[in-house]
Amino acid sequence: MSEKVHITVAKSAGFCPGVKNAIDKVLELAKHSKKPIYTLGPLIHNKQVIETLKEKNIHSVNAPSDIKEQHAILVIRAHGIPPGEEAAIRALDLEVVDATCPLVKHVQENIREHARKGYTTIIVGDRDHAEVVGLMGYAEGRVHVVDGPEEVKKLSRLDKANIVAQTTQEGDVFLAAAAAAREVAGELAVSNTICNPTKQRQKETVEFSKDSDLVIVVGGKNSANTARLFQICERLAKKAVHIEKEDELKPEHFKNARKIFITAGASTPSWMIEKVLEKARELAGETESPLLDKLAFGWKLLVTGSLYTALAAVALTYVCMKLEGAPISKKFLLMAGLFAFSLHMANRAVEKGAAAPDRARKLLFVKYRAQSRLAALICGALAIFLSAALGWKIFLTAAFFWFVGMLYPFKLPLGEKFGNFPASKDILTALGWAFMCAYAPGLWHGGAMHNSTQLAVFFAFLLVFTRSVLFGISHAHSDMIVGKENFYKAAGQPLTYFTLFAIFVLLSAILLSLKDAGWRPDLAASLLTGMLYYLALMLFFYFSRIPERITAETLIDTQFLILAALAWKP
């Protein structure tokens, strides 16, 4: 029996903070401004992401003169530009937005400060790279660009020099260049300006490449930091390949490869790495059982096709009915499932560049896209039809939430205004689920003003808001193109996790007080136990690497099934 194939993906792979910052800025501009948006050169060195931005009418120009519209927005990309060029474009009739990476700005200021003190700057980097061209402008004309120690040795004698690195430079090359600079400079300031994300990426690459039969480096062919990663891998691994897309992988790459390592450049989104991982597994035969492959693909279809989400909505409706003391109605359970399926399926069918188009997504939203949309519409119509049989109040409210949810992704007045509001997607999702899973059953059973109904609505809203926020965290960590309609993007990591923990404490306190007060004590105790899964999930997301999309969605929606199972007996 052949040795089992083992594939490892770099923990450091995915967008670096500077790239995320630049993309977030242009996405917010696109969402809030009616002006045409241009970037001065490609925003990042990744063709697939650039194409996604073009779909959102964010285009690249080589020079400001290429912009014909008046009062357009021009974005300075993450690499930065020389100060003279920046001053020139700010004098034009353009709105200039600076998306320079903060770590690149640190290098710019370092060079400016030393140049004012009379130091000559030595930049260890690629002479023609956009970042280096920008850095040179801060040196007041006294600057040398070198690619390593050999070029440093050729420099004329310098009285005072400051040696810096392009932020994505290889660490060993910079240190060797600094050592050589001590021989040509009377006074030398060594400024190791390689950014920490690059250091971590290179350290991990070195560690795993030494023990790998094959290293796959994913990233743009014009990306300097990706090229450096590939050079490191070529030196250390038995075999290394540099690809931009998963379809560049060939069966011959995997011949005799049992230990495979996948890494990527700073401008490669995690969802592209997931596609490469899926293709590598297919070609390398990591999974020995065809049955397991079929089961895994079937589960991806179930989750991607929103059926698991529909089941989660049914489970939450059951829990809310138990909280309200309402009789369990199959009509409401079915209505909630159809409602959730319809909206989630419809929204996924219109997503562009927001998620990895894996096999399941291609099947549902490329090959059978029209059928998927039709299924979403039919299920939505059935949910509205069922609501009509339960009273006009339920019908009107259900129709309102369904139409708002269906219109949300489109550039229509209502969807656009609400979509511009921070965390709007999470709030709207929570409101829709809270109505369908809790308010509607309570209204039908005995009135919306009952304390038990208000409690169930509050409980459902907070749980679904948490669910949506966790989805947002998962999407952001997969480098999907999302904006501040997600709470995580709008609030940032610290406030997001503080809010999630506060919700956990609040819901747990409510259930504990209900138990102590003797109000459905068995049910309150069961749901309180279920909150431990919520806590474990939150801690897992905070302390561990966020899993890929299918696993993350499964873990998140499973909380509702656990609560329903715990509520079954009381």
Q: CATH number, domain at 138?
A: 3.40.1010.20
pLDDT at 45: 78
Residue 421 binned pLDDT confidence (cut-offs 50, 70, 90): low
Residue 440: closest CA among 427, 451, 453:
453
Average pLDDT, the chain: 87
- Please check whether residue 438 lies inside any domain of the structure: yes
Residues 315 and 272 both lie in one domain: no
Residues 483 and 370 both lie in one domain: yes
Cα–Cα distance for residue pair 47/470, rounded to 1 Å: 29
Does residue 30 surpass a pLDDT of 60? yes
Does residue 290 surpass a pLDDT of 70? no
104 neighbors 80 (Cβ within 8 angstroms): yes
326 HSE (CA, 13 A, CB side) = 30
Residues 484 and 559 both lie in one domain: yes
- Please check whether residue 324 lies inside any domain of the structure: yes
Q: What is the pLDDT of residues 47-93, one digit of tens each?
A: 878 887 887 788 999 999 999 888 899 999 999 999 999 999 999 98
Residues 527-556: what's their mean pLDDT? 89
Instruction: Give me the helices (H) in 478-492, please.
Output: 487-491
> What does R_g of the chain's alpha carbons equal in angstroms?
27
* Number of folded domains that form the chain: 4
Residue 356 binned pLDDT confidence (cut-offs 50, 70, 90): very low
pLDDT at 179: 96
Strand extents, DSSP E, 408-483: none
pLDDT at 353: 45
Q: What is the pLDDT of residues 436-494, one digit of tens each?
A: 999 888 887 766 556 778 888 999 999 999 999 999 888 877 766 666 678 887 888 89
pLDDT at 428: 87
- Please check whether residue 21 lies inside any domain of the structure: yes
- Please check whether residue 210 lies inside any domain of the structure: yes
User: Does the predicted TM-score (pTM) go above 0.85?
Assistant: no
Residue 242: closest CA among 221, 269, 273:
221
257 neighbors 291 (Cβ within 8 angstroms): no
pLDDT at 81: 94
429 HSE (CA, 13 A, CB side) = 28
pLDDT at 491: 83
55-64, 347-356, 540-549 — which is least confidently predicted? 347-356
Residues 425 and 546 both lie in one domain: yes
Cα–Cα distance for residue pair 337/331, rounded to 1 Å: 10
Instruction: Give me the helices (H) in 366-423, please.
Output: 369-388, 392-407, 413-419
Does residue 263 surpass a pLDDT of 90? yes
Residues 518-532: what's their mean pLDDT? 87
Residue 1 binned pLDDT confidence (cut-offs 50, 70, 90): very low
Residues 513 and 537 both lie in one domain: yes
Burial 148-164 (b: 16+ CB within 10 A, else e): bbebbeebeebeebbbb
Residues 168 and 204 both lie in one domain: no
Residues 168 and 222 both lie in one domain: no
Q: Which positions are catalytic?
A: 131
Q: Which of 81, 100, 119 is the last residue of a domain?
A: 100
Residues 417 and 482 both lie in one domain: yes
What's phi and psi for 202, nearest 5 deg? Answer: -70, -40
| Host domain of residue 308 | 297-567
Residues 446 and 514 both lie in one domain: yes
Q: How many CB atoms lie within 10 A of CB 261?
A: 25
Residues 399 and 508 both lie in one domain: yes
Cα–Cα distance for residue pair 430/530, rounded to 1 Å: 19
Cα–Cα distance for residue pair 376/342, rounded to 1 Å: 4
Measured at the CA of 68, the angle between CA 67 and CA 72, to 5 degrees, comes to 65
Residue 3 binned pLDDT confidence (cut-offs 50, 70, 90): low
Burial 353-387 (b: 16+ CB within 10 A, else e): bbbbebebbebbbeeeeeebbebbeebbebbbebb
- Please check whether residue 157 lies inside any domain of the structure: yes
Q: Which of 84, 100, 116 is the last residue of a domain?
A: 100
- Please check whether residue 351 lies inside any domain of the structure: yes
Residue 125 binned pLDDT confidence (cut-offs 50, 70, 90): very high
pLDDT at 417: 45
CATH of the domain at 70: 3.40.50.11270
Task: Report the residue count for the chain.
Answer: 570
Residue 392 binned pLDDT confidence (cut-offs 50, 70, 90): confident
- Please check whether residue 1 lies inside any domain of the structure: no
pLDDT at 26: 87
pLDDT at 25: 86
102 neighbors 196 (Cβ within 8 angstroms): no
pLDDT at 363: 81
Residues above pLDDT 90, as percent of the chain: 47
Q: Which of 100, 127, 147 is the last residue of a domain?
A: 100
Residues 344 and 400 both lie in one domain: yes
Residues 112 and 43 both lie in one domain: no
- Please check whether residue 370 lies inside any domain of the structure: yes
